[in-house]
Amino acid sequence: MKEAHIVVKNLTMAYGSFVIQRKLDFTIARGDVFIIMGGSGCGKSTLLKHLIGLQRPVVGDVLYGNRNFWQADDAQRQAVMRRVGVLYQSGALFSSMTLAENVALPLTEFTGFSRSEIRAMVAYKLALVGLAGFEDYYPSEISGGMQKRAGLARAMALDPEILFFDEPSAGLDPVSARLLDDLIVSLNQTLGTTIVVVTHELASIFAIGTNAVFLDSDSKTLLATGAPKTLLAESRDPRILRFLTRGEMSAAPVAGVQVP
């Protein structure tokens, strides 16, 4: 059994009186590439906000190790968040800053490293994501896929234990999306980083996911947890099968069915 890195207990999410999801219970193990999946409007990005401290749950708990995140004080929550990095859907780079300046920002704000040390760290992080030599480029001067990778370099600046991705493949062409998937897998395998990905892109789900939770907008709760390929092979729920096969299956799969 892997060590639990994040545990979600009895979590209910709502905007006012409108419930998004209720009674969510799942565990993200250390070293997982964990997929939060489901159809549009099921609450995937809202769940991400609850995990990274942007929205407080109506009911329930989020535990990082032994620390109850939402019962901790502000200073304790900030300490937890220093251990995570977030890649937002758009990349969220500052357009008036070079890639090096974007990546250096967390290091400048939250560490006491010298300028020369920060420059070396920035160069290393950009090299990790395949952007060596692009330190002085502005976001407008590079492609969308490169912007995502630069955003990832910034998310990695403080050497986080956990990386969160919000729809990382959104807006990317298939080749760029595959390269980003390969990069996610490489970071997970070489650095041991726990990775949590919000996505509905099937190619990414099957390529990178080692564990997953499936959220359903109609029942307003999770329908299943497990590795995506295992859910495809073993699930008997037509809602899960429709999603994982692009609507081509509504009953249990049979032997020989190919993973999309």
Give, for all 260 residues of the chain, the pLDDT tens digit: 689 999 999 999 999 999 999 999 999 999 999 999 998 889 999 999 999 999 999 999 999 988 999 999 999 998 898 899 998 876 788 999 999 999 999 999 988 999 999 999 999 999 988 899 999 999 999 988 889 889 999 999 999 999 999 988 877 788 888 888 998 898 899 888 999 999 988 999 999 999 999 999 999 999 999 999 999 999 999 999 999 997 766 544 433 445 44
Tokens of 65: 């190790």
Helices assigned H by DSSP within the chain? 44-51, 74-81, 99-110, 115-128, 144-155, 174-191, 202-208, 228-234, 238-244
Cβ(215)–Cβ(42) below 8 Å: yes
Q: Nearest CA to 228 among 198, 249, 207? A: 207
Q: What is the pTM of this model?
A: 0.88
Instruction: Report DSSP letters for 123-159, one per residue.
Output: HHHHHHTT-TT-TT--GGGS-HHHHHHHHHHHHTTT-
Instruction: Tell me the domain boundaries of the chain.
Output: 90-159
